[in-house]
């Protein structure tokens, strides 16, 4: 099995998300088994999710948030208008000059 080295910032963000999911689970007084049953996963998988393991699928993270009523909190992730690099590149690709279209006389 190939191991991928993830940047520290990604590891940190995954750990934060896992901690937040754990906090939400504990506030609801759900065990890991309770959350696992609701999302269709195993107890150990939920433990790895809460640890911020990079091997856990995005679908499982989103499922956990959904069953706890927190899925709206991710609706603004990766909005196209928030993509500063993409917006810059789009503007850079726009033509320098815009030419008027000529009317073609189709009267014969």
Q: Are 59 and 48 a contacting pair, CB within 8 Å?
A: no
Q: Where are the domains of the chain?
A: 8-77
* Residue 37 exposed, middle or buried by CB count within 10 Å (0-12, 13-18, 19+): middle
Question: For residues 72 and 93, what is the distance between their CA atoms, to the nearest angstrom?
Answer: 34
User: What is the predicted pLDDT for the residue at 44?
Assistant: 98
User: What is the predicted pLDDT for the residue at 30?
Assistant: 98
User: What is the predicted pLDDT for the residue at 85?
Assistant: 94
Q: What is the pLDDT along the chain (108 residues), one digit of tens a residue?
A: 566 777 889 999 999 999 999 999 999 999 999 999 999 999 999 999 999 999 999 999 999 999 999 999 899 898 999 999 999 998 888 887 777 777 777 776
Q: Are 35 and 67 a contacting pair, CB within 8 Å?
A: yes
Please name the CATH architecture into which domain 8-77 falls.
Orthogonal Bundle (1.10)
């Amino acid at each position: 099995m190939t191991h991928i080295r993830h940047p520290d910032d990604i590891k940190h963000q995954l750990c934060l998300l896992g901690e937040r999911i754990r906090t939400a689970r504990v506030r609801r007084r759900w065990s890991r088994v309770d959350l696992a049953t609701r999302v269709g996963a195993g107890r150990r998988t939920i433990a790895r999710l809460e640890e911020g393991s990079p091997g856990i699928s995005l679908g499982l993270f989103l499922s956990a948030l959904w069953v706890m009523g927190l899925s709206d909190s991710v609706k603004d992730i990766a909005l196209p208008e928030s993509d500063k690099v993409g917006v810059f590149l789009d503007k850079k690709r726009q033509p320098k000059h815009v030419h008027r279209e000529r009317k073609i006389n189709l009267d014969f």
